[in-house]
A and B are shown apart, each in its own frame.
Chain A
Amino acid sequence: MSYAVGGSGFLNNLGRIYAIYTGTFAAFVVLIGILEWMGVPSKILGYLYIFLTIGVYALIGVLSRTAEVSEYYVAGRAVPAFYNGMATGADWMSAASFIGMAGSLYFGGYGGLAFVLGWTGGYVLVSILMAPYLRKFGQFTVPDFFGARYGGNVARSLAVIVLIMASFTYVVAQIVGVGVITARFLDMDYKLACFVGLIGILVCSLLGGMKAVTWTQVAQYIILIIAYLIPAIVMSFKLTGVPIPQLMYGFALEKIEALEKTLSVAQGHSAPFVDARGNYSATAMWNYFALILCLMVGTASLPHILMRYFTTPSVRQARDSVAWSLFFIFLLYFTAPAYAAFAKLEVYQNLIGTPIDKLPGWVATWGRPGLALVGACDAANAAQIFPICTGVRGNGDGILQLNEFRIHTDAIVLATPEIAGLPYVITGLVAAGGLAAALSTADGLLLAIANALSHDVYYKMIDPTADTKRRLILSRVLLLVVAVIAAWTAGVLGADILFLVSWAFSIAASGLFAGLVLGIWWKRCGNASGVAGVAVGFAVCMFFLVATEFYGPWVKNTLSWMGDIQIVKIRGRDVAYIWGINNISVGIFGIPAAFLAQWIVGRFSEPASQDMQDFIDSIRVPAGEVKNIEGAAAH
C-alpha cells in the first residue's frame, strides 16, 4: 500500500484524508480569527490566507508529481465518482460563478437566472449523450475522439482549433479573476498580481498534470463551498432568524416586491421577461432562452469539463460522477440567488433613505479608492470619497436616494460578510474561496490546452514515435508557455476581456457539440460529415461573432434580409443584435448550422465503414474491449 498521493492507501482512505484536511482548514480559519481578535492588521491576515492556501495546493501538486503518461493525462483513471464530482465542481465554477453571478442576479433579477439554469442543465446532456461513451472510448483528449471517429488529422486539427479558441479566452478571464482578487486583498499592483496568480496555477499542475490537478481541485472545492455558504447562512440568520438561506430568501423576495412599490422601481426583481419600464418584452424572453441554450450546450462541449470524465475507473462511475458533479455545483448555484435577494433587501431596507453620515461602515470600506465597489453619491463632491460615483449627480440633501446608490457586481459576494456583521476573518475566507474557484478552473483549462498541443498536435500528428519522457517534458514546457502567454494577455488587456467568457460557450457549442453527439448517436455518418459539422459550426459562429461585435453597421446594412437588426452601443462599439438577440448567444446560429451541415453531408457522402460502425458499437456498451481502429490505437 502506498500512501503517496494517488497510491492505493491514498485512494482507499480518501474520505479520512479530506476530512482531516477540512478539519485542519477550519482550525486555520479559527486561528486567523484569534489573530484578528488580538489585533493583527487585516492586510497580514489577507497574506496569510492567500499564501497558505496556495501553499497547500502547491504541496498537493508536488506530492502528485508523476512520470507516467496515463497519470499525467487522465489521473491514472483512478478517481472515484464522488471525488471526480467535487473536482469537476471546482473545475467548473470559475471566478465568474463565485464572485460575479450573485451580482448579476442582484442587477438582473429573474433575467440573471438564465445563468443559474444554463450552467446546471448542461450536465443532463453530458450525462445522457456523452460522458459514459467518451469514458468507454478511453483516450486522453476530446480531439482524440474527433481524430478516431472522423478518420484522422483533419478532424483532429479542427477540434484542436475550436478547443484552443474556446479555452484560451476562458483561461485569460480566470487569470484576470485571480489578479483582481490578489490585487484587492494584498494591495498589490494588478499586473504583478496576475503573475503571482500564475505561480499559484502552475504549482498545482506542472509536475503532476491531471493527477495533481484532480486532487488539488477536490481541496479547492472544499474551501470554495465553505467560503460561499457561511456568509449566506449568517446573513439569512440575521435577516430571518433561520440559518437556511436557500429556503428563507422567499420572504426576502416578498419584502423586496413591497419595497419596490414604495421606491417606485419599475423592473421588478422577480418579474420574468420585462424591459426597463416593467412591461412584458418578447425580446427579453427570447434572449433568456437563447442564452440558456448556448450555456447548456456549451457546458456539454467544453473540453476541460468533458476530459474530467476520462478519469473515472469505469463507465458506470463516469455516469454517477456527472450526477455528483451537478450536485456539488448545485450547492453553490442554488445559494447565489439568496445572496442577491438578501443584499438587495439590505440595500432597500437599511440603506436607502439613511442620512449620509449614518451609513453603515461597509459602504466606506468597500467604497474607498483602490476598491471602489460601492458609492453613496449624494454630495456634489462624492466622487472624491467614492470613485464609483464619477458621473453620478446626487441632489445633495444629505440623504441617500436609490438613484444615488452605486454598487459593483463583485461587491455582492465580497461585501456580504461585512453587511452581515461578520469579522474580517470571514471576508478573507471569501477571498480565499474566490481564489480557489479561479485557480482550479484556470488549471483545468490550461491542462486542456497544453494536452491538446502536446498529445494531439505533437504526439499524434508530428512525432508518433516520441517516447514517454519526451512527451511529458514537452507537455510541461507547453503548459508553462501557454500559462505565461495567458498571464501576459490578462495583464495587458485587464478586465476588459471578461465579456469574452460567454463567447467561449458559444464557440465550444457550435464547434464541438454536433460532432460529439452525432459521432456517438448516428452510426452511419462518415468522416466527411464530421469534418463538415465542426468546420461549418465553428465558421458560422465566428462569422456572426466578429461581424456583430466589430462590424455592426455592416451587418445592419448587408444582412437586413435576415429580419430585424438593432444597433446597440456597448463596450464602446456599435454592436448588432440580430432579432434583438445579444451576441453572447451567437451559438443559436452556430449550433443548428453544425447539425445541418453534418446531416446533409452525412446523407450524401460515403457512410462510415463497417469497422467504424463496429467501433461505435463497442463504445456504446460499457463492457468489453474498444474495437481497434486507426487513430484509436492503445497508447
Chain B
Amino acid sequence: MATKLTKDQMASYWGKTSRLMWTILALWFFFSFVIHFFAPTLNGIRIFGFPLGFYMAAQGSLIAFLLMCFYNAKAQNAIDEEFGVSDE
C-alpha cells in the first residue's frame, strides 16, 4: 500500500477510472432523461398494473441509480486493488 505510482501507471490508472466514470455517466444520462422521453409510448405497456413509462420514473430509474452506485464502488475498488492503491 501507499506505493507511489509511476507516471505511466498513473496515466493507466486514471484512464481506467475515467472510462468507468464515462460509462456510468452515460447510463445516468440514459436513465435520467432518455428513457423518460419515451414515457408516453412506454405507458402503453402495463406490468402489475403499472404503466411502464410511469413505473420507470417512479421506480425503474431509481433502482438503476442504486445499482450504478453500488457497481461503481465495486468496480473502482477492483481498479484500486489492481494498481495497489486501495486505502484499506
Chain A residues proximal to chain B, CB less than 8 Å = 110, 113, 116-117, 120-121, 123-125, 127-129, 132, 136, 246-247, 249-254, 270-273, 280, 285, 288-289, 292-293, 296, 314-317, 319-320, 322-323, 326-327, 330, 333-334, 337, 521, 617, 620-625
Q: Which residues of B contact A254 (CB under 8 A)?
A: 46, 49
A247 — which chain B residues lie within 8 A by C-beta?
48
Which chain B residues lie closer than 8 Å to A623 at the CB level? 1-3, 80, 84-87
Q: Which residues of B are found within 8 Å of A292, using beta-carbon distances?
A: 32-33
- A selection of 30 A-B contacts at a CB cut-off of 8 Å is A113-B58, A116-B58, A117-B36, A117-B61, A121-B31, A121-B32, A124-B69, A127-B24, A127-B72, A128-B20, A128-B24, A128-B25, A128-B28, A249-B49, A250-B55, A251-B48, A270-B53, A272-B43, A293-B32, A314-B88, A316-B77, A316-B86, A323-B66, A330-B62, A330-B63, A334-B58, A334-B59, A620-B14, A624-B3, A624-B4
A421 to B2, CA, bound (A): 60
Shortest Cβ distance from B79 into A: residue: A622
With A116-B57, A316-B77, A623-B85 in contact, do A124 and B24 touch (Cβ < 8 Å)? yes
Give Cα distance in the complex from A136 to B17, angstroms.
15
**In the bound complex, what is the Cα–Cα distance between A32 and B69 (angstroms)?**
40
Give chain A residues whose Cβ lies under 8 Å from the Cβ of B63: 330
Bitwise interface map of B from 60 to 74 toward A, beta carbon under 8 Å scored 1, else 0: 011101101110110
Find the B residue at minimum CB distance from A340.
Answer: B58
Residues of B within 8 A of A132 (CB): 76
Task: Given A292-B33, A316-B77, A621-B85, check contact A323 B21 (CB 8 Å).
Answer: no
A-B contact count (CB 8 A): 150
Minimal beta-carbon separation of B16 from chain A (angstroms): 12
Q: Which 7 residue pairs are nearest across A and B when measured between Cβ atoms?
A: A250-B49, A272-B39, A323-B69, A250-B50, A113-B57, A622-B87, A270-B54
In the bound complex, do residue A116 and residue B62 qualify as a contact, i.e. CB atoms below 8 Å apart?
Answer: yes
Q: Is the CB of B69 within 8 A of A322?
A: yes
Most buried by B among A121, A132, A317: A121
Query: What separation, in Å, do the CA atoms of A132 and B18 have in the docked complex?
Result: 14
Residues of B within 8 A of A128 (CB): 20-21, 24-25, 28, 72
Chain A residues, CB < 8 A from B24: 124, 127-128
With both beta carbons as reference points, the residue of chain A lying nearest to B17 in the complex is identified as: A620
Contacting pair A124 B62 (CB below 8 A): no
Check if B57 sits within 8 Å of A117, measured CB to CB: yes
Q: A253-B49, A624-B2 are in contact. Are A120 and B87 (CB under 8 A)?
A: no
Min CB–CB distance B77 → chain A (angstroms): 6
B 4-37 to A, binary, CB cutoff 8 A, 1 in contact else 0: 1100001001100110110011001001110011
Check B54 against A110 for contact (C-beta < 8 Å).
yes
- Choose from A288, A617, A622 the contact partner of B10 (Cβ within 8 Å): A617
> Does B45 touch A at the CB level, under 8 Å?
no
- Which of B33, B62, B77 has the largest count of A CB atoms less than 10 A from its CB? B62
Given contacts A128-B28, A128-B72, 15 further A-B contacts (CB under 8 A): A117-B32, A117-B61, A120-B62, A124-B68, A271-B40, A272-B53, A293-B33, A314-B87, A319-B73, A319-B77, A333-B62, A334-B62, A622-B86, A623-B2, A623-B87
Query: Are the C-beta atoms of B2 and A319 separated by less than 8 Å?
Result: no
Given contacts A319-B76, A322-B73, contact A272 B40 (CB under 8 A): yes
A326 CB → nearest B CB, Å: 5
* Contact residues in B for A314 (Cβ distance below 8 Å): 87-88
A337–B51 alpha-carbon span in the complex (Å)? 13
Most buried by A among B1, B14, B36, B72: B36
The residue on B at minimum CB distance from A109 is: B54
CA distance A247 to B25 in the complex (A): 29
Q: How far is the CA of A521 from the CA of B50 in the complex (A)?
A: 40
Minimum CB distance partner of A129 in chain B:
B21
Interface of A is mostly: helix
List the B residue with the shortest CB-CB distance to A319: B73
Contacts of B69 in A (CB 8 A): 123-124, 127, 322-323, 326
Q: Which of B10, B18, B43, B51: most chain A CB closer than 10 A?
A: B51
Contact of B66 with A319 in the complex, beta carbons under 8 Å = no
Expressed in whole angstroms, the Cα–Cα distance for A288 and B31 within the complex equals 14
Q: Nearest CB to that of B53 among chain A residues?
A: A272
Min CB distance B14 to A, Å, is 6
Task: Kindly report which residue of chain A lies nearest to residue B27, judged by CB atoms.
Answer: A124
Q: What's the Cα separation between A124 and B51 when bound, in Å? A: 25
Contact B40 A315 (CB under 8 A): no
In the bound complex, what is the Cα–Cα distance between A132 and B58 (angstroms)? 28
Min Cβ gap A548→B in Å is: 24
Question: Are A327 and B3 interface neighbours, CB within 8 A?
Answer: no
Q: Which residues of A contact B14 (CB under 8 A)?
A: 620
Q: A261: shortest Cβ distance to chain B, in Å?
A: 15
Shortest Cβ gap from A371 to chain B (Å): 29
B48 near A622 with CB under 8 A, answer: no
Assembled-state Cα–Cα distance A229/B58 (Å): 16
Name the A residues within 8 Å of B50 (CB-CB). 250, 253
8 Å CB contact of B80 from A127, A316, A333, A617: A316
Residue numbers in B under 8 Å from A323 (CB-CB): 66, 69-70, 72-73
With a cutoff of 8 Å between Cβ atoms, the chain A residues found around residue B36 in the complex are: 117, 272, 288-289
In the complex, the chain B residue whose C-beta lies closest to that of A321 is B73
For A333, the closest partner residue in chain B by CB is: B62
Contact of A280 among B40, B49, B55, B86 (CB under 8 A): B40
A601 to chain B, nearest CB (A): 23
* A272-B40, A623-B3 known; A316 vs B48 contact (CB < 8 Å): no
Residue of chain A at shortest CB distance from B71: A323
Chain B residues with CB under 8 Å of A316's CB are 73, 77, 80, 86-88
Contact residue among A127, A289, A330 (Cβ-Cβ distance under 8 Å from B33)? A289
- A contact residues around B18 at 8 Å (CB): 521
Q: Which residue of B lies closest to A289 (CB)?
A: B33
Q: How far is the CB of A241 from chain B (nearest CB, A)?
A: 14
Chain A residue numbers with a CB within 8 Å of B88 are 314, 316-317
**Given the known A-B contacts A270-B51, A316-B86, are A326 and B65 also in contact in the complex, defined by CB atoms under 8 Å?**
yes
Q: How far is the CA of A272 from the CA of B36 in the complex (A)?
A: 9
Chain A residues, CB < 8 A from B77: 316, 319
Question: Chain A residues with Cβ under 8 A from B20's Cβ?
Answer: 128
CA–CA, A617 to B63, complex, Å?
A: 33
A331 to chain B, nearest CB (A): 10
Residue with the highest number of chain A CB atoms closer than 10 Å, among B2, B5, B54, B69:
B69
A121 touches B61 (CB 8 A): yes
